[in-house]
């Protein structure tokens, strides 16, 4: 606990930002639908966010090197807060698209600043612990923030003011916590061709998860509202999927460490596909049925990026982990750019339940690709697999942290095996 104490202010800032970002994603869909935006317009707004996020991940290191952590954080937070207020003043789908693009860029930068700062103060022995704490904060903040919408109301100015306050308050712990000036992170090496060559299935899995999860995250509030659920129900619906993913992720990871990860990926994809089809065909407008099935859907859909990354890391050399995790993050972001846009047009044509037909189609395609890859490439022996780790998709920094953790774990395993041979 003593190793975490100096990081508490930064973790508080992260909690505020994670909550505000999670709240904004749900609210944009709900408020857009209330304002008469079409599902296609809301999908385009979601696409803009992920496009900005992708560019932000790539560009933010240069900003940090130019002005430092605190100045970069202050500038990005000011832009994000101003954009949030502007959305309340000017209700227009095209303007919201531009603002969400800027928000994606800003949040990518804000998370990178915090996570690089945290990472600079973490010893190697504490990396796994810090990552676990950060995951808990992520889960609690995003889940809890959903219920600010029914508490404050999705209509009017107040909810935008709350989001602006959250973004602004995140400046306080960052500004006052520490007088140090952490060294900016190293430039991330992006080599998508090499990342693909290491594990085509890992790359395709990341793209598939980006397509599916971004569409669900952006458009599930629209689905829930259109089938007649209340605003409180919408918040519970989104939260149920997040909680499901959090609870099942580590058991799935443990299973993938024991058995061929591709078998676990097939089982996970099949379960997510089945839950998506159940939401599309059988749950109707029933509150209990929707909550129960979306919990199952989230339990299997949300961990799939980490499973895909773990499979890819099994194929990588230790010095390729950082580059590979950065590449997978970009593959995910590419999928996330197209997911909301495509799913929105499917919903426009066939109704709200078509969101889950879209998700089911993505998972079915992924299963076919996994089966093909199993025929052309043998599995990685259990002794050579890296350990499963839950990957965050808030910035590239914690991809590095996970890469280092996996590298150290693999090195430790090799040392133990060598010691066993010598004995």
**Residues of the chain below pLDDT 50:** 403, 409-423
The whole-number pLDDT of residue 147 equals 92
Cβ 140 vs Cβ 15: under 8 Å: yes
User: 124-127 long-range contacts, Cβ below 8 Å, gap at least 24?
Assistant: 124/404, 124/408, 126/3, 126/4, 127/401, 127/404, 127/405, 127/408
Residue 387 parent element (H or E): none
Cβ 139 vs Cβ 243: under 8 Å: yes
Alpha-carbon distance of 421 to 415, in angstroms, equals 10
Assign 308 to helix, strand or coil. helix
Q: How far apart are the first and last CA of the chain?
A: 37
The whole-number pLDDT of residue 272 equals 97
Angle (CA) 330 209 225, round 5°: 120
The full DSSP string for 161-192 is HHHHHHHHHTHHHHHHS----PPPPPPPPP-H
Cβ 264 vs Cβ 252: under 8 Å: yes
For 94, the token pair is: 């095209």
With CA atoms as reference, report the closest residue to 84 among 210, 169, 174: 169
Alpha-carbon distance of 291 to 248, in angstroms, equals 16
The whole-number pLDDT of residue 178 equals 59
Cβ 167 vs Cβ 81: under 8 Å: yes
Topology, domain 5-422: Growth Hormone; Chain: A; (1.20.1250)
The whole-number pLDDT of residue 423 equals 39
CB atoms within 10 A of CB 189: 11
For 190, the token pair is: 């992006």
Residue with tokens 């949030």: 84
With CA atoms as reference, report the closest residue to 387 among 328, 331, 317, 313: 313
Cβ 122 vs Cβ 130: under 8 Å: yes
The whole-number pLDDT of residue 2 equals 56
CB within 8 A of 386, min separation 6: which ones? 310, 313, 314, 321, 406, 409, 410
The full DSSP string for 91-132 is --HHHHHHHHHHHHHHHHHHHHHHHHHHHHT--GGGHHHHHH
The whole-number pLDDT of residue 420 equals 39
The full DSSP string for 42-63 is HHHHHHHHHHHHHHHHHHHHHH
Sequence spans of domains, the chain: 5-422
Cβ 321 vs Cβ 396: under 8 Å: no
The whole-number pLDDT of residue 422 equals 38
């Amino acid at each position: 606990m003593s190793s975490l104490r100096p990081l508490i202010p930064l973790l508080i800032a992260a909690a505020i930002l994670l909550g505000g970002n999670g709240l904004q994603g749900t609210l944009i869909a709900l408020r857009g639908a209330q304002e008469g935006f079409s599902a296609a317009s809301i999908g385009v707004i979601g696409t803009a966010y992920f496009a900005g996020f992708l560019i932000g991940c790539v560009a933010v290191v240069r900003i940090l090197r130019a002005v430092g952590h605190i100045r970069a954080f202050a500038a990005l937070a000011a832009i994000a807060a101003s954009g949030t207020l502007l959305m309340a003043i000017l209700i227009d789908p095209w303007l919201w698209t531009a603002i969400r693009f800027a928000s994606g860029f800003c949040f990518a930068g804000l998370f990178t600043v915090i996570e690089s700062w945290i990472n600079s103060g973490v010893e190697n022995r504490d990396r796994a612990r810090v990552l676990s704490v950060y995951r808990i904060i992520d889960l609690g903040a995003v889940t809890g923030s959903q219920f600010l919408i029914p508490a404050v109301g999705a209509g009017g100015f107040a909810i935008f003011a709350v989001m602006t306050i959250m973004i602004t308050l995140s400046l306080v712990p960052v500004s006052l916590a520490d007088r140090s000036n952490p060294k900016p992170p190293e430039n991330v090496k992006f080599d998508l061709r090499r990342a693909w060559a290491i594990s085509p299935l890992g790359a395709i899995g990341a793209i598939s998860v980006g397509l599916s999860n971004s569409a669900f995250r952006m458009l599930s509030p629209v689905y829930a509202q259109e089938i007649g659920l209340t605003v409180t129900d919408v918040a519970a619906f989104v939260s149920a999927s997040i909680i499901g993913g959090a609870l099942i992720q580590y058991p799935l990871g443990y299973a993938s460490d024991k058995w061929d990860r591709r078998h676990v990926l097939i089982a996970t994809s099949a379960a997510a596909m089945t839950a998506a089809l159940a939401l599309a065909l059988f749950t109707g407008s029933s509150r209990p049925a929707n909550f129960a099935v979306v919990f199952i859907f989230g339990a299997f859909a949300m961990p799939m990026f980490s499973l895909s990354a773990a499979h890819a890391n099994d194929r990588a050399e230790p010095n390729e982990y950082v580059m590979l995790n950065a590449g997978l993050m970009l593959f995910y972001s590419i999928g996330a750019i197209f997911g909301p846009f495509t799913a929105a047009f499917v919903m426009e044509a066939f109704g709200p339940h078509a969101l889950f037909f879209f998700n089911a189609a993505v998972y079915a395609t992924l299963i076919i690709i996994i089966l093909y890859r199993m025929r052309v490439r043998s599995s990685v022996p259990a002794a050579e697999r890296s350990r499963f780790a839950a990957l965050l998709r808030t910035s590239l920094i914690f991809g590095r942290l996970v890469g280092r953790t996996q590298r150290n774990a693999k090195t430790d395993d090799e040392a133990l095996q060598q010691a066993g041979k010598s004995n």
